Amino acid sequence: MSVLTTNMPDLRIALNGRGIDALRPVLRYNEAGQITANGTLREDEWKQIDEALVPIAKQRLTGIGDLMARGLVYRVPNGLGKTVLEYEDVSDIAPAQMSMDALTRGQKDRLEYSVKYLPLPIIHYDYQLSLRVLEASRTKGMPLNVDMAQNAARKVAEYAEDILFNGTSSYSFGGGTIYGYCDAPNRNNVTLVKAWNDPTKTGAEILADVVKMKQASIDAKHFGPWVVYIPTAYETAIDADFKANSDKTVRQRLLELGGIEDVKVSDSLAVNNVVLVEMNTNTVRIVEALPLTNVEWQSEGPFLTQYKVMTIMVPNIRADQAGNSGIVHLA
């Protein structure tokens, strides 16, 4: 499948324009359920809609973009034909031994695996264009209005991002459940004593909170590197001076902590929730079974064309069999 590449590494938008017909015979149907040979839109109109999805997805997929930029992504071949991802977690083994002659019998321990399942639902948003709207655009020589395509893409991207941070533990299928940073059962919980945007909260206290989060990850045998995500309500709090008349902001001081690669704002996080995430495939990866895709089908004869922006993209929050996780939740 040909894809349109953005400046964000590995964030892919599946195109439906001419020359990219591999997707179209699978996904374009008429009202009778028959595959249609030709799309309603012209080549330049497809380009307008497809390219409109790129800046919206790039803007909204902050947490997912971080995972993809670091290669923490698992792509499922023919993902539309799979409803569940089967994967394994692994146990640890006993420590090595030491002796003078190496004749002491070893423990002959072995790794143990357990199978787990992750649902692969489709996140989608529908919109439509009438034939008269298309013809009016063509007659006037005006670019096609792509507002609905952009808004549909934004809603899909926001949904995927929200699942990464907040999970959807009420959604189970095929023996698995989709968890996010803030509802993963094995996440490390740290108590937030005072909100970061409380005017009495000092920069030193914010720093101490992050140090406690980092220590919780280390105690769980996850040693970084980490990214800290904060809610929108905390953004200006970390841009304040670390202390009175300081030459550093709280943000700058946090970034001086060893292993902290970035501090980012996520509008998916509820107020008074901060997460520290180890950027390692043993902690989290994004499973992409279908890139963000725009498909069409006709209804009401040729007079109304339906469109669906959709993706199969869910987080895979991971821990070992002892429950050790590289995700820390301050709340």
Instruction: Identify the pLDDT of residue 95.
Output: 67
Instruction: Decide the pairing of beta strands 226-231 and 260-266.
Output: parallel
Residue 159 and residue 310 in contact, taking contact as beta carbons nearer than 8 Å:
no
Instruction: Identify the pLDDT of residue 235.
Output: 94
- Burial label for 34, CB within 10 Å (0-12, 13-18, 19+), is exposed
Distance from C-alpha of 56 to C-alpha of 65, rounded to nearest angstrom: 12
Distance from C-alpha of 213 to C-alpha of 181, rounded to nearest angstrom: 14
Question: Within its chain, how far is the Cα of 235 from the centroid?
Answer: 21
Distance from C-alpha of 133 to C-alpha of 139, rounded to nearest angstrom: 10
What are the extents of the domains in the chain? 8-87+116-180+283-317, 188-282+325-330
3-state secondary structure 11-42: CEEECCCCCCCCCHHHHCECCCCCECCCCCCC
Query: Which range, of 26-35, 136-145, 171-180, 235-244, averages the lowest pLDDT?
Result: 26-35
Residue 98 banded pLDDT, cuts 50, 70, 90: low
Residue 208 and residue 323 in contact, taking contact as beta carbons nearer than 8 Å:
no
Q: 188-282+325-330: which CATH topology?
A: hypothetical protein PF0899 fold (3.30.2320)
Residue 28 and residue 21 in contact, taking contact as beta carbons nearer than 8 Å:
no
In this model, does residue 34 exceed pLDDT 60? no
Q: Around Cβ 25, how many Cβ atoms within 10 Å?
A: 11
Q: Half-sphere exposure of residue 169, counting CA atoms within 13 Å on the CB side? A: 10
- 39-43, 84-88, 265-269, 291-295: range with highest mean pLDDT: 265-269
In this model, does residue 44 exceed pLDDT 60? no
In this model, does residue 195 exceed pLDDT 50? yes
For 110, the token pair is: 């072995």
Instruction: Identify the pLDDT of residue 10.
Output: 41
Distance from C-alpha of 175 to C-alpha of 120, rounded to nearest angstrom: 12
Residue 128 banded pLDDT, cuts 50, 70, 90: confident
Residue 178 and residue 315 in contact, taking contact as beta carbons nearer than 8 Å:
yes
Residue 266 and residue 62 in contact, taking contact as beta carbons nearer than 8 Å:
yes
Residue 291 and residue 16 in contact, taking contact as beta carbons nearer than 8 Å:
no
Radius of gyration of the chain (CA): 24
pLDDT tens sequence across 200-225? 999 999 999 999 999 999 999 999 99
Query: Which range, of 46-55, 64-73, 275-284, averages the lowest pLDDT?
Result: 46-55
pLDDT cut 90: percent of the chain above it = 45
Is the pTM above the cut of 0.85? no
Instruction: Identify the pLDDT of residue 45.
Output: 56
Q: Which of the two residues, 132 and 45, has the higher pLDDT score?
A: 132
The answer regarding whether domain 8-87+116-180+283-317 maps to CATH 3.30.2400.30 reads yes
